[in-house]
């Protein structure tokens, strides 16, 4: 459903991504793994439109969306939970969630979606009127994922949902994402937490130095020598 072809991209003239080819299939969980600084977040920024590529095309349902501005992509059904969560710090948890349903398409179902998000993350309901900056890291992550779900997306784009969270919370988040995938949602997720991510994935990409190093079903990537090297080379 989502396809990158030959993507080159960078910041201020410094190229970071080189010839990235990647596909996230409908109803599947696609994960991108790789060491810190590999370019994983940059790939997602190309997907969401925040980073315009200098070369290559982005397709969504076979439609070329390379030139579609970021703020029109939620309307197509692409909703993202960015790296570092990026909640609106001065807005309440619930105001953050409701902004997830900002598009006219999603706004009509906002109340239903809100009830679903609270059912999915019961822990954030009592925090509804708390400003986002006062939420714990785990609560912030749940609100951030919930905010993306409020858009009624066709594909959910997640950037390192486990970052900086306690192991117990990480497990909870992964379980929830897995449940969403089982309910039929397409997911494109970036994770540094490679093994936990691959366990719930249908397909994986290993990115290093701004290039796709390998791709394949999780079983093939799990015991990949290169994967180990890619990580040990950094850490």
Residue 42 vs 96, nearer CB to ligand ADP: 42
Restricted to residues 133-162, the positions that interact with another protein (CB under 8 A) are: 147, 151
40 lies in the site for another protein, by CB under 8 A:
no
Q: Pick the binder of ligand ADP from 9, 16, 58, 206 (CB under 6 A).
A: 16
16's CB contacts (< 8 A; 6+ apart) are 9, 10, 39, 42, 210
Restricted to residues 48-107, the positions that interact with Mg ion (CB under 5 A) are: 83
| 159-57-208 Cα angle (round to 5) | 45
Q: Which stretch binds ligand ADP (CB under 6 A): 31-39, 93-101, 141-149, 222-230?
A: 31-39
The one of another protein, ligand ADP, Mg ion, none whose footprint includes residue 195, by CB under 5 to 8 A per kind, is none
Phi, psi of 217, rounded to the nearest 5 degrees: -65, 155
How many CA atoms, within 13 angstroms, populate the side-chain half-sphere of residue 28? 15
How many chain residues bind another protein (CB under 8 A)? 29
For residues 54 and 7, what is the distance between their CA atoms, to the nearest angstrom?
7
Q: Pick the binder of Mg ion from 28, 41, 92, 96 (CB under 5 A).
A: 41
Q: Smallest distance from the beta carbon of 191 to ligand ADP, in angstroms?
A: 10
CB 183 within 8 A of CB 176: no
Phi, psi of 76, rounded to the nearest 5 degrees: -80, -20
The one of another protein, ligand ADP, Mg ion, none whose footprint includes residue 37, by CB under 5 to 8 A per kind, is ligand ADP
Q: Which among 91, 138, 148 has a CA at the least distance from the CA of 117?
A: 148
41 lies in the site for ligand ADP, by CB under 6 A:
yes
Residue 210: Cβ within 10 Å count: 22
Residue 41 vs 92, nearer CB to Mg ion: 41
Task: Name the residue number minimizing CB distance to Mg ion.
Answer: 41
| 100-43-97 Cα angle (round to 5) | 10
Q: How far apart are the first and last CA of the chain?
A: 34
Q: Pick the binder of ligand ADP from 42, 48, 140, 186 (CB under 6 A).
A: 42
Contact positions vs another protein (CB under 8 A): 48-50, 69-75, 79-80, 82, 86-91, 95, 98-100, 102-103, 106-107, 147, 151
Contact positions vs ligand ADP (CB under 6 A): 11, 16, 34, 36-42
């Amino acid at each position: 459903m989502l396809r990158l072809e030959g993507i080159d991209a960078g910041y201020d003239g410094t190229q970071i991504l080189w010839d990235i080819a990647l596909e996230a299939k409908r109803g599947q969980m696609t994960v991108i793994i790789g060491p810190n600084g590999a370019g994983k977040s940059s790939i997602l920024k190309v997907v969401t439109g925040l980073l315009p590529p200098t070369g290559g095309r982005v397709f969504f349902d076979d439609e070329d969306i390379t030139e579609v501005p970021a703020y029109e992509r939620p309307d197509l059904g692409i909703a993202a939970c960015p790296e570092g969560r990026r909640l609106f710090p001065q807005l309440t948890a619930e105001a953050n969630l409701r902004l997830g349903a900002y598009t006219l398409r999603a706004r009509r179902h906002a109340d239903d979606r809100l009830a679903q998000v609270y059912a999915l993350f019961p822990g954030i309901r009592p925090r509804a009127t708390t400003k986002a900056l006062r939420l714990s890291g785990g609560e912030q992550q749940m609100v951030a994922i919930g905010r993306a779900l409020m858009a009624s997306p066709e594909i959910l784009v997640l950037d390192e949902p486990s970052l900086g969270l306690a192991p117990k919370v990480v497990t909870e988040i992964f379980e929830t994402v897995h449940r969403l995938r089982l309910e039929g949602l397409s997911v494109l997720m970036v994770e540094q937490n490679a093994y936990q991510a691959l366990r719930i994935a249908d397909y994986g990409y290993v990115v290093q130095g701004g290039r796709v190093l390998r791709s394949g079903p999780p079983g093939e990537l799990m015991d990949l020598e290169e994967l180990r090297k890619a990580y040990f080379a950094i850490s």
